[in-house]
Amino acid sequence: MEVKVLKDILGANEQIAERNRQLLGSNNVFAVNLMSSPGAGKTSLILATIKRLKGKTKIGVIEGDVSSSLDAEMVGKEGVPVVQINTGGACHLDANMISNALGNMPLQDIELLLIENVGNLICPASFALGEHRKVIISSVPEGDDKPFKYPLMFHIADVVLINKTDLSPYLKFDTEAFSQAIKRINAKIEIFQISCATGQGIQQWVSWLLTQMSFLRGTKRIF
């Protein structure tokens, strides 16, 4: 019975996610689902991305948190549209939450939508939002064993960003072993090393975003 209920929940969520995807596509909006454990640097990445793309791409942000609006307030200071979702205890965003948030976004004025999921490496992996790409941020202080502990998250992701590389000299983090473990789970995944503090690798990340947006427009896979 529990399995059937879960399938029903995920099936209903997928239907709403598909509607979200169609809505985004009809408005030429490319959406990215940013996932990580708490403190890995999702908001820092969003801020760094906005600064690099300001004047080049119109960005909107959906901020997901269990409570508070601290991150949304920081992002709002950058002059981009931002909607806060408080889950009230839920450990992930779902497609219905995103559907409601999209109703409060000026989609006609957005080209890139960054969705900050709730800090969690389990639940977000199972719930599609209607996004076009899934991105995991895994920071050096968390250790290099995350692919072994949370394989589903790495299996469904398109990109892994290894953040806080500026701390590598002070911590034990085997980047090569970490990358190899991820590749064994998902051979097609892309891995970038970044530091939101120093700016290392941010341009490579931004270039990837722009390439994905251009590619999907060109192939009309979403637009």
Domain range annotation of the chain:
2-219
Residue 3 · residue 117 · CB < 8 Å? no
Residue 187 · residue 1 · CB < 8 Å? no
Are β-strands 133-139 and 159-163 bridged in parallel, bridged antiparallel, or unpaired?
A: parallel
The percentage of residues in the chain with a pLDDT greater than 90, rounded to a whole number, is 87
- Counted residue by residue, the chain has a size of 223
Distance, CA of 198 to CA of 205 (rounded, Å): 14
Q: Over range 58-85, report the average pLDDT.
A: 95
Residue 68 has pLDDT above 90, yes or no: no
| Strand ranges in the chain using DSSP code E only, listed in sequence order | 30-36, 59-65, 82-86, 112-116, 133-139, 159-163, 190-193
What does the pLDDT look like over 23-47, one tens digit per residue?
A: 999 999 999 999 999 999 999 999 9
Q: What is the mean pLDDT of the chain?
A: 93
Looking at residue 208, its pLDDT comes to 96
Give 135's strand partners. 34, 159
Residue 196 has pLDDT above 50, yes or no: yes
Residue 86 has pLDDT above 50, yes or no: yes
Distance, CA of 7 to CA of 79 (rounded, Å): 40
Looking at residue 204, its pLDDT comes to 97
Looking at residue 3, its pLDDT comes to 56
Residue where the block lists tokens 């637009």: 223
**Torsional class of 127: left (φ above 0), alpha (ψ -120 to 50), beta (otherwise):** beta
Looking at residue 58, its pLDDT comes to 96
Residue 14 has pLDDT above 90, yes or no: yes
Residue 8: which pLDDT band, with cuts at 50, 70 and 90? confident
| Strand ranges in 29-154 using DSSP code E only, listed in sequence order | 30-36, 59-65, 82-86, 112-116, 133-139
Burial of 55 (0-12, 13-18, 19+ CB in 10 A): exposed
Residue where the block lists tokens 């941020």: 137
Q: What is the DSSP letter of 115?
A: E
- pTM for the structure as a whole: 0.93
Looking at residue 2, its pLDDT comes to 52
Q: Which fold has domain 2-219?
A: Rossmann fold (3.40.50)
